[in-house]
Homo-oligomer: A and B are copies of this chain.
Amino acid sequence: MDFGTEFKPLTVQPQEIEGLSFQMITAELGVHDFTAQQYPVVQRIIHASADFELGRGLVFHPQAIEAGIAAILAGKPIVADVRMIEAGIAKARIHQYGGDVRVHISDPDVMEEAKALGVTRAIIAMRKACAEAPGGIFVIGNAPTALLELIRLVKEGAAQPGLVIGMPVGFVSAAESKDELRKLDIPYISNIGRKGGSTVVVAAVNALSLLAVRHAAEQQ
């Protein structure tokens, strides 16, 4: 979001708007238990949702931020469950390290296999991604079945995600799938409850890629 100079009711510039929003978020969130490493992700998710309840419900595996930054800098793929997430991710920051963003839900082979096996496309798309993108960042904002299949594959040793951003939204199985994710000892970013969705997980990915760029700059 950026704001022009001609526009009368606003007298502040784009960067100032974001800075002002972030100050408001910090003031309104108040005391919290997030680490300094985690907080930029929390802040950007609240910025994208204007939802403090959702922000306060975020849960980070202790290695989540470090693992996410490492995966981005290593050019690992980012796998999303739906196209909206792909559209929202700031792709230039991913591409510059050799990574890409993938969505398999409409791949012809996925559609064919799902039909043949009588299971959902979300499940087959997740199997394909686990086979093709070990070490990748798995971003699930919509389908609880995708997250539950990923958890199953991790337990069976058939998937080695670098990071799981698991925040499907909904009334049936969404909260439950996140409860299962939080039992795993692998890097994850998730939240407690029904909320989540494409804009929320996109905010998490974009916050991580900004951290990755900063981390890379500090190493030089």
A contacts, CB < 8 Å to B: 1-7, 9-10, 12, 14, 17, 20-21, 24-25, 47-51, 82-84, 86-88, 114, 117-123, 142-145, 148-149, 169-174, 176, 193-199, 202
Contact = CB atoms under 8 A, between A and B. Distances in A.
Contacts of A114: 4
22 contacts: A1-B142, A2-B121, A2-B145, A3-B173, A4-B114, A4-B118, A4-B145, A7-B119, A7-B149, A10-B172, A10-B173, A12-B172, A17-B173, A21-B172, A50-B169, A50-B194, A84-B84, A84-B87, A84-B88, A87-B87, A169-B199, A198-B199
Contacts of A120: 2-4, 7, 14
A20 B123 contact: no
A50 B174 contact: yes
Given A21-B171, A83-B87, A118-B4, A51 B50 contact: no
A5 to B, nearest CB: 5
Most B C-beta atoms less than 10 A away, residue of A10, A114, A176: A10
Given A4-B119, A14-B120, 12 more contacts: A2-B120, A3-B120, A3-B173, A5-B119, A6-B123, A9-B176, A50-B169, A50-B193, A50-B194, A83-B88, A84-B199, A87-B88
Given A51-B51, A84-B84, A117 B199 contact: no
Contacts of A20: 171-172
